[in-house]
Structure 1
Amino acid sequence: MIHPAGKKVAVEKGKTLLDAVKQLAASEETSVEVPCGGLGLCGNCRIRVITGRMQPPTEAELEALSETELQKGYRLACQAVVTESLEVGIPPESMSSPPDLQTAGASITVAPDPIVKRYGLRLRESSLTNPKSCWQQIEHALASEHGATVSRIDAELIRRRNPLARETTVAVSVADAEVINLHTGGNPPPLAGLAVDLGTTKVAGYLVDLSSGKVLASDGVLNPQVRCGADVITRLAYAGDSPQHAGQMCRMARECINHLADTLTTRAGLKRSDIEQAVIVGNTAMQHLLLHWPTAQLCRSPFMPASTSPLLIKSRELQLDFAPGAQVYFLPSVAGFIGGDHTAMMLATRLDRSESVTLGFDIGTNTELALCCAGKIYCCSCASGPAFEGGALRHGVRAVPGAVSRVRLEADGQVRYQTIGSQPAVGVCGSGAVDAVAQLVKNNIVNSAGIMDEHHPGVRPGGEDAPVEFVLVSADKSGTGRDITLNQGDINAIQLAKAAIASATALLLSTAKLAIKDIEQVIVAGAFGSHLGLGSAISIGLFPELPRDRFAEVGNAAGTGARMALISAAERREAESLAAKVTVVELATHPEFGAVFSRSLQFPKPAAQTEFP
């Protein structure tokens, strides 16, 4: 029995509690966070055993759980093996709640010029005196009435439609000289397309009227692959374990897109089969997993993608249930882990057209950077890890209701905080963690090396089974009944993540022979970047120290770029041109990377007090 779902699940002896929860998660909105992919490294999948006996804790559990927690029945779901009937409860902080998934992005005007064109035709009834099928009549009418040359008709469309014609009007959709869909009657649905930003954590979808460019519906959902790991490296390792795991990751992504398409079309009063064109952008790993491409070469140097070229395939090849002949277009990747989502971000922000020196960040579990100056584009990617999205933190959660998102320390030592939705605190998300670290550094509770002062009155000293930690929310005020803290390991996780981005920034500038002072504009893309406290990010060295008015937050620019490529053939050509002219800076082989990264680990000296925005 698993609470709070109140459901019984049958699992074989020898399976883990995580296997039981995953089985339940397939049919219920109940799951647990496993950022490490179930390897026992993160300690996020705590479950409390209410009744029943279990084997002794593993070494991973002894490392992650305190003696008090073990006495209360807490175990790690990924480690605890089921040997008999049990009753367990998933605490709130372990549950995978629907996060605050941003879909809003940069606003840009693009003249619609979609690949798919819609034509209205009138057919005559097939007869002995008019021995022509509807397809023969359509091909002739398209050429004679609209000057549209058609060289083929989608085979699946022919299979689904009766070739005998009757006296009627039809609306025919044509893409790349191929008839891909047919609507009978006088009131066809809008010419609909779907743009998808397939992110490591979130999947954002936009249902678009291709004729006008208007967004008919948009939404964001959690990428179901998070059950198998919070970051791309963990997921690639999981997929590489076996063909079954690779297939599972592929199915998860495809089913997620189908479900998202269902949600959006229902909201717009359409059907999923009305989608006649789609554009999908994602980082290199996400694209490989969706396409079921080989991934082994991505896991070792020189980290080569199977392909970086743009791709146009039938939606049915991906088991995406759209219109019979619907196509899916993938923007080109740049290289390595600089994927099509970064190309989309550059397209949406017009980085290459800026006359000023512009630095662009697309922050996520994998962060991409672009530096544009004097007509040149320099790009790199860095593994910033899941800390900015709440992963790898002791009490980390995603941007869910109740997540601590803003933190400030008052002069008297009191902690002032805000939570998403003003709900009781259940954990701390990425923006809250960055705020908290900035405040701890500001108040000399954490030094420039990232070490917490154990003697500070606000710090709880560590013991044999407890790390040094700072209490953000006391148990009596939290929504979990437990203290919500930031410990030394959490500080180090944020430190490593910010150092990855800061060192990438430094090496891009060095390659272009520029200094921080030369940067005239900074564009911050990505959902996390939009929630981030800019002052805190600058104060810990995540962003370069520049005047605030040089920063612009543009939201989900990758999603905007996907929409642009969806409604305009010219924008696709622009995206392909952009990807081709990028100079890639490989951080792993850069001779100065080690030294620069080491310096970037340091926190800058405390600056002015960070206020809530």
Structure 2
Amino acid sequence: MSSASVVFTPSGKRGSFPHGTPVLQAARSLGVDLDSVCGGRGICARCQVIHTTGEFPKHGLVSAATHLSPFDATEEKLVRKTTRLKSGRRLGCTAQILGDCVIDVPPESQIHRQVVRKEAEIREIKIDPVVRLYFVEVEPPKMEDPTSDLRRLLKALETEWELQNIKVPHSILEMLQPTLREGKWKVTVAVDHDGIMRGIWSDFREHLYGIAVDIGSTTLAAHLCELGSGEVLSSAGMMNPQIRFGEDLMSRVSYVMLNQDGEKELTKSVREALNQLSLEVCEQAGIQKEEGMEMVMVGNPVMHHLVHGINPIELGGAPFALATDEAIITPASELDLQLHQLAQTYTLPCIAGHVGADPAAMVLAEAPHLQEAITLLVDVGTNAEIVLGNRDRLLAASSPTGP
């Protein structure tokens, strides 16, 4: 009987199994953490897995869509009549191995779910938020005065807060009049440091929120902050779902090189994870995710490029050319992030093609460029980076360490 190679992620366990072996049986024989409480009868739907397709040179195999058996009646029923089987997933107990394949076990299908915790370090900082709130009382309209609602709002901002030359996006204009009337001409507006109005509310608001995100090769971490005080309200972490495309950076770049639209798959997976993390930190703090006005991101060059939808293929070999070494400011909506409709993202610049935005953030936080003493900064992760130097000179380097 023919056999096939099967690789499970994120555990990295692999083995060879006869064609027709259920995925759940293969997982159990390798000691892969895959949940099931119904004895493999397709009832509990806890053994959901993701069949990752494409060419995987690191594993020495091609995982094709035909290498798992077609949907059977049990799976069809779950898809058609319930929402228990998520889109793009298979039941490990019914899907049978028909060829070489890579199988990802998502966190919710693991018996002992991975706990990723990265708490924020509390330190004294100078608060200078990009977006600030302003509460104003606007003159109601009068028959003898044809001035528009917007002009009277801008006049109130200038009179009460000395704000001038405010630019107003179209989405603010759409909600301007009902918001003013609902608030009985008393509203809170958000204005950023470029003079752009980013929000308007029909009540008194005193809090704005931002999310700081570290996009690591293996784990993601997010911290929700109150922008006015700098207080960290909640933190959350999770495994980077891109692991199913490759455990290390070069494996993921190889996946992009060898699979059409591979970069789109990796980009989609990390953006979905960021939305999941954003929702988690907001729920912990008791706020709506639409209240998030800012997101700041750091990551190594490959993560940096992928979250912005930039093909990382040039980072796969010398001279490791970056698409850009500038900071990137992008509307959150352009990155499919579900925050406030006018939320912005700020991604710190990468230092070089092999040294990302993480050490740039370390330098900002520790300021070795302002010190006389020589300082060594180390970021230990799947892709480790170090910075050494003082006010005279800084040197940076990186090296893979894992996962």
Whether the TM-score (by the shorter chain) exceeds 0.5 is yes
Does the CA contact (< 8 Å) of 2:180 and 2:186 recur in 1? no
Residue identity opposite 2:196 in structure 1: E
Partner of 1:206: 223
C-alpha separation between the residues in 2 aligned to 1:380 and 1:330?
A: 20
When residues 337 and 161 of structure 1 are mapped into structure 2, their CA distance, relative to the original with a 3 A threshold, is farther
**TM-score, normalising length from structure 1?**
0.49
Q: 1:82 aligns with which of 58, 65, 68?
A: 68
- For residue 137 of structure 1, the aligned residue among 144, 152, 159 is 152
Shift of 1:160: 4.7
CA distances 1:524-575 after superposition (whole Å, capped 9, x unpaired): xxxxxxxxxxxxxxxxxxxxxxxxxxxxxxxxxxxxxxxxxxxxxxxxxxxx
What is the match of residue 162 of structure 2? 147
Distance 2:68 2:135 in 1: 62
From 232, 256, 263, the equivalent of 1:246 is 263
Tell me which structure has the larger Cα radius of gyration. Answer: 1
Which residue of structure 2 lines up, in the alignment, with residue 602 of structure 1?
Answer: none
Q: CA RMSD in A?
A: 3.3
Q: Which residue of 2 aligns with 1:33?
A: 9
* 1:190 match: secondary structure: coil
* Residue matched to 2:200: 182
1 CA distance for matches of 2:113 and 2:14? 16
Q: Which residue of 1 aligns with 2:133?
A: 118
Bigger shift: 334-343 or 121-130?
121-130
Which of 205, 223, 236 is residue 240 of structure 2 equivalent to?
A: 223
Q: Quote the residue 2:213 is aligned against.
A: 196
Cα distance in 2, alignment partners of residues 280 and 180 from structure 1: 20
Give the one of 330, 339, 360 matched to 1:322. Answer: 339
Q: 1:172 to 1:238 in 2, by over 3 A?
A: same
The structure where strand makes up a greater share of residues is 2
Aligned equivalent of 2:275: 258
Q: Residue 114 of structure 2 corresponds to which residue in structure 1? A: 99
1:53 to 8, 20, 24: 20
Task: Work out the CA distance in 2 between the residues paired with 1:341 and 1:225.
Answer: 19
> For residue 80 of structure 2, what is the aligned residue in structure 1?
none
- Written as runs of structure 1 = structure 2, the 5 A alignment for 1:152-551 is 152-162=167-177, 165-166=180-181, 167-175=184-192, 176-186=194-204, 188=205, 190-373=207-390, 375-386=392-403
Distance 2:340 2:390 in 1: 43
Q: CA deviation at 1:255?
A: 1.4
Structure 2 gap ranges (5+): 31-50, 53-60, 73-92, 97-102
Distance in 1 between residues matched to 2:367 and 2:116, nearest whole Å = 24
Q: Deviations along 1:386-411, whole A, 9 cap, x unmatched? A: 2xxxxxxxxxxxxxxxxxxxxxxxxx
Residue-by-residue CA offset, 1:477-523 (whole Å, 9 max, x unaligned)? xxxxxxxxxxxxxxxxxxxxxxxxxxxxxxxxxxxxxxxxxxxxxxx
Question: 2:269 is paired with a residue of what secondary structure?
Answer: helix
- d(CA) in 1 for partners of 2:362, 2:354: 14
TM-superposed CA distance for 1:196, in Å, is: 0.7
- Distance between the aligned counterparts of 1:316 and 1:129, measured in 2? 41
Partners of 1:180 and 1:323 within 8 A in 2? no
Distance 1:185 1:379 in 2: 49
Contact preservation (8 Å) 2:210, 2:293:
yes
Cα displacement (A) at 1:297:
1.3
C-alpha distance 127-104 of structure 1, shift in aligned 2 (>3 A): same
Q: Which whole-Å CA distance do the structure 2 matches of 1:165 and 1:91 have between them? A: 50
8 A Cα contact 1:311 1:332, kept in partner: yes
- Distance across 1 between alignment mates of 2:267 and 2:156: 41
Which amino acid is the alignment partner of residue 245 of structure 1?
A: G
Shift of 1:237: 2.0
Aligned to 1:152, what secondary structure does the other structure show? coil
- Report the Cα distance in structure 1 between the residues aligned to 2:295 and 2:317, rounded to whole angstroms: 31
Q: For each residue in 1:269-320, what CA deviation from the matched residue of structure 2 results, as whole angstroms up to 9, or x when unmatched?
A: 2111111111111111101000011322111210011001012121111111
Matched pairs, number: 329
Distance 2:5 2:165 in 1: 57
Counterpart among 108, 121, 128 of residue 123 in structure 2: 108
**Which residue type is aligned with residue 256 of structure 1?**
A
Q: In the superposition, relative to structure 1, how do residues 214 and 105 fare at CA in structure 2: closer, same or farther (>3 Å)?
A: closer
* Aligned-partner SS, 1:151: coil
Residues 421-452 of structure 1: CA deviation (Å, up to 9, x unaligned)? xxxxxxxxxxxxxxxxxxxxxxxxxxxxxxxx
Letter of the 2:364 counterpart = L
- Secondary structure in structure 2 of the residue aligned to 1:153: coil
Output the amino acid matched with 2:244: R
Counterpart residue type for residue 161 of structure 2: H
Deviations 1:230-263 (A, max 9, x none): 1111112223334532112111111111111111
Q: Deviations over 1:454-483 (max 9, x none)?
A: xxxxxxxxxxxxxxxxxxxxxxxxxxxxxx
Q: Deviations over 1:326-385 (max 9, x none)?
A: 211111211112111111122223333444332221111211111114632111112223
CA contact (8 A) 2:271 2:337 kept: yes
Q: Show the counterpart of 1:596.
A: none
Mapped to 2, the partners of 1:325 and 1:308 lie a distance apart of 25
**In the alignment, residue 238 of structure 1 is paired with which amino acid?**
Y
In structure 2, give the amino acid aligned to 1:82: L
Measure, in 1, the Cα distance between the counterparts of 2:149 and 2:16. Answer: 61
C-alpha displacement of 1:174: 0.5
**Tell me, what secondary structure is at the counterpart of 1:270?**
coil
Separation of aligned partners in 2, 1:156 and 1:374: 45
Does the aligned pair in 2 maintain the 1:309–1:333 contact within 8 Å? yes
Offset at 1:126? 3.8
SS at the partner of 1:205?
strand
CA distance in 2, matches of 1:331, 1:292: 16
**Separation in 2, partners of 1:252, 1:83:** 24
- Judge which range, 83-92 or 201-210, deviates more: 83-92
